[in-house]
Amino acid sequence: MLDVTGPLVSAETVAANLEAIQTTDTEYRLLEVNVQQGTYESSHIPGAVSLDWQRDLRDTRTFDILSPAALSSLLGDCGVTRETTIILYGDFFNWFAAHAYWLLRYYRHENVLLLDGGRKYWLENEFPTTDAVPAVPNCEYHTPDPDESIRARRGEVEAAVESGGCLLDARAPPEYRGEILAPPGWNEGVQRGGHIPGAVNKPCRDTIQSDRRFRSREDLATLFENYSTDEQLIVYCRVGERSALVWMALAEILGYENVAYYYGSFVEWGNTVGLPVESATSADLR
């Protein structure tokens, strides 16, 4: 087993153990999670299997997360068993890989790690890559009932708004303020700008360094020092991927006990008739 403590594994550790990790047995499985077409095909870590966030990690008809049956089929096709240590990484600051990490935790997979820094850090440091697609075995994977404590649904978010509960918005400040609907170049997906009433802006970029690795545990503790480790926190963004980084920082790295991820995020909230939104002034960015 890898000598790793916590949810993150360094690129250096993966590279040093790559001979064992990239084998086609089921002890380890590297999964590259991307949103841009052709990324995996151009190059990837040897032994990595490709997952497309839009096609593979959500129900394309309902836009909800995968059902237990769908996840069982997907992971079985990837050569994963319940005992496999899954190492996730991807493009865009590990946004979508972090979402996959949350999804696996939601469905109670125990052995899962996020490659700190993601695809970009691996490439920039010239660790080994290939364009060869591995032939992994087909396995049986049985997904258990989910851990609902780490998922917030719309009704729970509405209740938090009513009670003054703590909501953390992981989007960029211009999105939070309602000046733009999505990051430049992305399909907006929402019809109204602003944020869920009472939410505090905690951009996901604040949790990571310029090289895309997470900030130190001490820096993250300072970033979230205004929040008690046992209070109920709900994190969200636009479509759910960026808030996964904030969820990881709080729940997995810092050990906060009651952090829930609002999968529907602002695409659901901002497009629902009758739900309120707020815009922000600079005084609201606290």
Q: Note whether 128 and 134 are within 8 A (CB).
A: no
Q: Tell me the C-alpha distance between 126 and 274, whole Å.
A: 51
In the numeric block, the tokens 């529907």 are attached to 264
Q: Give me 160's structure tokens.
A: 């938090």
- Tell me which residue of 202, 193, 200 sits closest to 164, measured CA to CA: 200
Q: Note whether 279 and 194 are within 8 A (CB).
A: yes
Whether 237 is catalytic: yes
Q: Is 276 helix (H, G, I), strand (E, B) or coil?
A: coil
The amino acid occupying position 59 is: D
Give me the phi and psi of 214, to 5 degrees please: -65, 150
Q: Tell me the C-alpha distance between 178 and 199, whole Å.
A: 13
Q: Note whether 169 and 236 are within 8 A (CB).
A: yes
The residue from 78, 166, 204, 237 that is catalytic is 237
Q: Note whether 97 and 40 are within 8 A (CB).
A: no
CA distances from 9 to 34, 52, 163, 245 (A): 19, 22, 38, 15
Q: Note whether 167 and 194 are within 8 A (CB).
A: no
Q: Tell me the C-alpha distance between 251 and 262, whole Å.
A: 14
Residues annotated as catalytic (active site), given as ranges: 237
